[in-house]
Amino acid sequence: MSPGDGTRELPSETTLVRNLKEGEAGAFEVLVRENSPRLLAVARRYLPKEADAQDAVQDAFLSAFRGMAGFTGASKLSTWLHRIVVNASLMKLRTRRRKPEVAIDDLLPRFENDASAHHLDVIAAWRETAPDELTRDENRVLVRAAIERLPDSYREVLALRDIEQLDTADVAELLGVSKGVVKTRLHRARQALRALLDPHFREGAP
């Protein structure tokens, strides 16, 4: 099984699925080579440590290999794999969850203690956040780094809702919590992320 002979044509999805179900080794290699880059990128959103993200991708493919017989073709292979890697990443995250999390309260807005409850912190204007391609790439790096700093339980909800774009009910089911908990965590995660991004996006900031 040498990796370099990638000149043959890729089979259609139907053919690929049939070959996978028949246990053809070449089909598995195609599946892995085609899908692992994207799946690894997904896993990295939940698991900041590269080794953990790679483990999650490996776990996901093992589940996929085992579950192949039950794959009905109702969704695309890539969609099915995506769901499996999200699950594998969340499981890994659970086992990795170490020590008490950073207090998210430090990243939430503070208010005056009177009836007005005005903002205690100055809300300074941000520069344009959605400009040209080059700045987009820079922003992406900044935002990824900030998301990594969020406590795990907040990062996972933000990733599932705002990045994967799953709806509240699906996320609640996936995490085994109520919809109310998902909403509260998402709101707090966004506020915390805003606080982490604030120093970078203030007008005049580098």
Partner 1 sequence: MNCREFTSFIADWLDGELPVGQAQVFQAHIAMCPPCEMYLLQYQSTVELARLCQPEDAVPGEVPEALIQAILAARPTGDGSDPTQP
Cβ proximity to partner 1, 174 vs 188, nearer residue = 188
Cβ proximity to partner 1, 22 vs 106, nearer residue = 22
Q: Which stretch binds partner 1 (CB under 8 A): 7-15, 27-35, 73-81, 90-98?
A: 27-35
User: Encoding tokens for residue 101?
Assistant: 């999390």
Q: Shortest Cβ distance from residue 103 to partner 1 (Å)? A: 18
Q: For residues 114-153, b (16+ Cβ closer than 10 Å) or e, as one string?
A: eeeeeeeeeeeeeeeeeeeeeeeeebeeebeebbeebbbb
Answer for which of 94, 149, 179, 187 binds partner 1 (CB under 8 A) is: 187
In the shown chain, the binding pattern of residues 137 to 166 toward partner 1, with x for contact by CB under 8 A and - for none, equals: --xx--xx--x----------x---xx-x-
Answer for which of 5, 14, 66, 206 binds partner 1 (CB under 8 A) is: 66
Answer for which of 75, 79, 117, 180 binds partner 1 (CB under 8 A) is: 117
Q: Which stretch binds partner 1 (CB under 8 A): 8-16, 72-80, 87-95, 122-130?
A: 122-130
Nearest by Cα to 174 from 83, 101, 95, 64:
83
Identify the burial level of 189 via C-beta atoms within 10 angstroms of its C-beta, where 0-12 means exposed, 13-18 middle and 19 or more buried: buried
Q: What is the 3-state secondary structure (H, E, C) of 152-169?
A: HHHHHHHHHHHHCCCCHH
CA distance 182 to 188: 10
CA distance 65 to 180: 35
Could you tell me how many residues of this chain bind partner 1 (CB under 8 A)?
64
Q: Which stretch binds partner 1 (CB under 8 A): 7-15, 31-39, 73-81, 89-97?
A: 31-39
Give the count of alpha carbons within 13 A of 182, CB side only.
19
Answer for which of 118, 203, 204, 206 binds partner 1 (CB under 8 A) is: 118
CA–CA distance from 102 to each of 9, 18, 63, 147, 188 (Å)? 49, 48, 32, 13, 13
Do the Cβ atoms of 20 and 27 come closer than 8 Å? yes
Q: Which residues bind partner 1 (CB under 8 A)?
A: 1, 3, 21-23, 25, 28-29, 32-33, 36-38, 40-42, 44-45, 54, 57-58, 61-62, 65-70, 109, 111-112, 115-119, 122-126, 129-130, 136, 139-140, 143-144, 147, 158, 162-163, 165, 183, 186-187, 190-191, 193-194, 197-198, 201
